[in-house]
Amino acid sequence: MAEKQLRRNLAVLPIGTVMKLTGQTARQIRYYESQELVLPERTPGHQRLFSLNDVDRLLEIKDYLAEGATMVQIRQIYRKQAQKMQQRHLTDTKARQLLAEEMLSVGGLVGQRPSISQSSKLY
């Protein structure tokens, strides 16, 4: 299931394709990028390459706008979403550290080589 998500994040669509897929103009798409609402990659020649997730994001923006939302509000929506994602990541990291320490204490005498600080970095 992680493999599929990886493909959705593959940046392979040039702006022309994204325009047709979202019905937005290149001007708008580039503007949304300047607002950091989408983060397309670049080819060696500086051309934007969007992923399917970027397209979904643009479609979402289109809906929010249609519902009367302003760019400020939309930006707020995503920055809060990013905050929660980060918090979830932090609690995950904390849980993994606890698990790592737990495994070390249970393993006790066995793995006393790596210090806790070093081994936790592996997760």
Partner DNA sequence: ATTCTCACA
Partner DNA sequence: TGTGAGCA
Residues that bind DNA (CB under 7 A): 14-17, 19, 24-28, 30-31, 45-48, 65
- Minimum CB separation from DNA for residue 16, in Å? 2
Provide CB contacts within 8 A for 1, sequence distance 6+.
Answer: none
Task: Output the CA torsion 69→74→77→82 (10° steps).
Answer: 170
The H helix count followed by the E strand count for the chain is 6, 2
Q: Which is nearer to DNA, 4 or 46 (CB)?
A: 46
The smaller minimum CB distance to DNA, of residues 35 and 119, is found at: 35
Nearer to DNA, 16 or 108 (CB): 16
Q: What's the min distance (Å) between Cβ of 78 and DNA?
A: 16
Bin 107: left if φ > 0, else alpha if -120 < ψ < 50, else beta.
Answer: alpha
Cβ 66 to DNA shortest distance, Å: 11
